[in-house]
Amino acid sequence: MKYALVTGGSRGIGRAICLKLSEMGYPVVINYASNKEAASETQRLIEEKGGTAELLPFDVSSAKNIETALNDWIAKHPDDYIAVLINNAGIRKDNLMFWMSDDEWHNVLETNLNGTFFTTRTLIKYMMNKKFGRVINIVSISGVNGMAGQTNYAAAKAGVVGMTKSLALEAAKKQVTVNAVAPGFIETDMTKDLNQDELKKIVPANRFGKAEEVAELVGFLSSEKAGYITGQVVAISGGL
Percent of the chain at pLDDT > 70 equals 100
The confidence score (pLDDT) of residue 72 equals: 97
The confidence score (pLDDT) of residue 70 equals: 98
Q: Longest Cα pair distance anywhere in the chain, in angstroms? A: 51
Catalytic residues: 153
- State how far the Cα of 28 lies from the Cα of 31, in Å rounded to an integer: 9
Question: Considering the entire predicted model, what is its pTM?
Answer: 0.94
- State how far the Cα of 11 lies from the Cα of 237, in Å rounded to an integer: 20
- Three-state SS for 61? coil
At 20, is the pLDDT very low, low, confident or very high (cuts 50, 70, 90)? very high
Query: Tens of pLDDT along 183-221?
Result: 999 988 777 777 778 888 889 999 999 999 999 999 999
Residues 5/80, Cβ–Cβ less than 8 Å: no
The confidence score (pLDDT) of residue 83 equals: 98
2-236 maps to CATH 3.40.50.720: yes
Domain boundaries, the chain: 2-236
The number of angstroms, rounded, from the C-alpha of 168 to the middle of its chain's C-alpha atoms is: 16
Q: Report DSSP state, residue 190.
A: G
Q: Report DSSP state, residue 29.
A: E
The confidence score (pLDDT) of residue 109 equals: 97
- State how far the Cα of 186 lies from the Cα of 81, in Å rounded to an integer: 31
Beta bridge partner(s), residue 86:
6, 136
The confidence score (pLDDT) of residue 200 equals: 85
Mean pLDDT of 138-156: 93
At 240, is the pLDDT very low, low, confident or very high (cuts 50, 70, 90)? confident
Mean pLDDT of 109-135: 98
Rg (CA), the chain: 17
Count of all residues that appear for the chain in the document? 240
CA distances from 122 to 24, 72, 97, 102, 168 (A): 24, 12, 33, 28, 16
Query: Tens of pLDDT along 69-117?
Result: 999 999 999 999 999 999 999 999 999 999 999 999 999 999 999 999 9
